[in-house]
Amino acid sequence: MFKFSRRVSGLKPSATLAVDAKAKALVAKGIDVINLAAGEPDFDTPEYIKKACKEALDAGLTKYVATPGLMSLREAICKRIKEDYGFEYTPEEVLVTAGAKHAIFNLMMALIDEGDEVIILTPYWVSYPAIVSIAGGKPVFARTSFESGFEPSVEELEKHITEKTVGIILNSPSNPTGLIYSREFLKSVAEISKKYDLWIMSDDIYDRLRFDFKPPENILSVAPEIKDRVFLINGVSKAYAMTGWRIGWLVGNKDVIKACTKLQSQSTSHATAFAQKAAEVALTSPQDTVYEMCKIFAKRAELISSLLKEVEGFEFIPPQGAFYLFLKVSYYYGKTTKDGKEIKDSVSFAEYLLDEARVAVVPGVAFGEDEFIRISFANSEENLQKAVERIKNAVLKLTS
């Protein structure tokens, strides 16, 4: 009956959200599932932030506001960037969006024309290729390897650059690996961007969750001279446990911000007004809760690393930030389950863990690496211990 557009015809739903939804559906049926698929902190939003939202509602902040966001929030974002990174921005260089994903969407729609190519490093967050494709562009993958610590060489990046290349996407700390790019690598990317006149999108959504507890860093920390070609993506979802509030932002060249604002004015208008006020309070209040949450994630990273290294055949690089561990499980490919099903790839491995161990994880193929699964340690220490024990018992049942 309907002819669907090319934008949605080949589009797949987010794999992480799909697995998370399946796990929650099983839990709703009373099945004991440990969810290690969720891409969000397991902590509640701090009370002082919720209180600020309630006060905003009571004050009547329920009407339309300016498309780019509340001026006070944009000023708070500039101040937070100044305190965390030392970079100077003005509110005219900030667009508040309905989550960081929306900021990425706006940027890609504004900067990509049909056929433009954007370089994405593997493994990548699941939505990068989809958003580039929706905008009419072509995602081009620069392969990395487990052996290289998931950092591509300069040669690997350059060999993918053509006359159609317009930009590069970076994400550090990384989803799904939890790795932080080295300063040397970031310097090389900066040189490439200058050499080939490329823009860079720096997804900094996990920047406050570093297990070395150093201040956040991105490509501008090592190459401030390319500020006009770098776009910063961030939000309150991860650092402040505010995933459902849907407040993110895009920061960069004011002409591009104007273009993205015009685009947003014809789509979502502004992000939710009273949620913006809560985000403002999150950014301007003492940052103790962020530090405390990061300490807990760091402790969990150590715990799950120590548990998983005892399981035969598993390989991984200990995460340096975020709350994910990217686990190489291909040792078990080719083995069969007790009912005769072959473990062929990350999807069948993840399905086996959900069915046999009642542990939900995300298949690595969703991130461009089929030999891996992504484990989220945004869960209690007790559940992490139980989950690894279940996984260990499940893989012991596999036969050659």
How many residues are given for the chain? 400
- Quote the pLDDT of residue 165: 98
Rounded CA separation 153/160 (Å): 12
The two tokens of residue 163 are 């006359």
Rounded CA separation 209/239 (Å): 7
The two tokens of residue 250 are 């895009």
> What is the C-alpha R_g of the chain?
21
Strand residue runs (E) in 172-302: 199-203, 230-235, 248-251
pTM for the predicted model, two decimal places = 0.95
Rounded CA separation 132/138 (Å): 6
CATH number of 63-285: 3.40.640.10
Strand residue runs (E) in the chain: 34-35, 94-97, 117-121, 138-142, 165-171, 199-203, 230-235, 248-251, 315-316, 324-328, 359-360, 362-363, 372-376
- Quote the pLDDT of residue 20: 73
Cα distances (Å, whole numbers) of residue 208 to 195, 217, 238, 270: 30, 9, 9, 25
Domain boundaries, the chain: 6-44+289-394, 63-285
Query: Quick check: 138 and 119 in contact, CB under 8 A?
Result: no
pLDDT in tens, the chain (400 residues): 888 888 888 787 776 677 777 888 888 899 899 999 989 999 999 999 999 999 999 999 999 999 999 999 999 999 999 999 999 999 999 999 999 999 999 999 999 999 999 999 999 999 999 999 999 999 999 999 999 999 988 899 999 999 999 999 999 999 999 999 999 999 999 999 999 999 999 999 999 999 999 999 999 999 999 999 999 999 999 999 999 999 999 999 999 999 999 999 999 999 999 999 999 999 999 999 999 999 999 999 999 999 999 999 999 999 999 999 999 999 999 999 999 999 999 999 999 999 999 999 999 999 999 999 999 999 999 999 999 999 999 999 998 7
Rounded CA separation 350/360 (Å): 7
Q: Which CATH architecture has domain 6-44+289-394?
A: Alpha-Beta Complex (3.90)
Q: Among 127, 75, 102, 133, which residue's Cα sits nearest to residue 269? A: 102
Backbone angles phi, psi at 226, to 5 degrees: -100, 20
Helices (H) and strands (E) in the chain, counts: 14, 13
Give the three-state DSSP class for 251.
Answer: strand
